[in-house]
């Protein structure tokens, strides 16, 4: 399944550019932020999510807590 790719505008109004290659088209993903304590207690589901944008050119992952 192919994900939708698009330019990303940050909350401050700037366009997101890849730190590695300068490309401006990204795929959006949501990933869990795992912590040792929550994993130990079997509560991984309660951890926060991070919004991640993956550069479609070089595949670098840009992590954000929005």
**Pair 48, 4: CB distance under 8 Å:** no
Q: In angstroms, rounded to a whole number, what is the distance separating the alpha carbons of residues 9 and 2?
A: 22
**Strand 26-32 and strand 5-6: pairing?**
antiparallel
Look up tokens 């959006």; give the residue: 28
Low-confidence ranges of the chain (pLDDT < 70): 1-2, 38-40, 44-47, 66
In this structure, the chain runs to a length of 66
pTM comes to 0.74
Q: For residue 45, what pLDDT is reported?
A: 67
- Candidates 65, 66, 53, 64; CA nearest to 17 is 53
Q: For residue 50, what pLDDT is reported?
A: 82
């Amino acid at each position: 399944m192919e994900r939708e790719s698009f330019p990303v505008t940050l909350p401050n109004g700037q366009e997101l550019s890849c730190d590695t290659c300068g490309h401006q088209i990204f795929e959006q993903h949501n990933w869990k932020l795992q912590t040792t304590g929550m994993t130990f207690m079997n509560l991984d589901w309660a951890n926060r999510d991070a919004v991640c944008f993956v550069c479609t050119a070089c595949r670098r992952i840009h992590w954000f807590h929005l």
